[in-house]
């Protein structure tokens, strides 16, 4: 099988993160792209569902609350279960 060079544009941060992930999996970016393309051919389409996620109101409120808590330095954090249990029992 003859290999051909292909040029594509990829967001620099996405490329960096993906390359690190693939390295952990024992792959390089080129091999990962080849796997993706082979899976597209095998399935006669994308190898995963492409859709826009739509969260319900309750989930959106929970995510907003989580962001508020994450950025509120007055909210205590716990590094182990025992500390959390003591705080809950107090």
Nearest by Cα to 33 from 70, 5, 63, 62: 5
Other CB atoms within a 10 A radius of the CB of residue 19 amount to 15
- The pLDDT of residue 53 is 83
- The pLDDT of residue 30 is 95
First to last CA, the chain: 68
Q: pLDDT (tens digit, 9 = 90+) per residue, 12-31? A: 999 999 999 999 999 999 99
Q: pLDDT (tens digit, 9 = 90+) per residue, 51-62? A: 888 899 999 999
- Rounded-to-integer distance, Cα 90 and Cα 86, Å: 6
Q: What is the mean pLDDT of the chain?
A: 94
Domain boundaries, the chain: 12-43, 57-89
């Amino acid at each position: 099988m003859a290999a051909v060079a292909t040029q594509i544009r990829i967001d620099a941060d996405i490329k960096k993160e993906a390359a690190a992930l693939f390295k952990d999996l024992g792959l390089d970016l080129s091999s990962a792209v080849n796997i993706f393309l082979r899976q597209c051919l095998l399935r006669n389409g994308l190898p995963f569902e492409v859709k826009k996620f739509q969260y319900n109101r309750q989930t959106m409120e929970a995510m907003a609350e989580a962001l508020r808590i994450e950025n509120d330095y007055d909210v205590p954090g716990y590094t182990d279960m025992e500390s959390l249990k003591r705080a809950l029992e107090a």
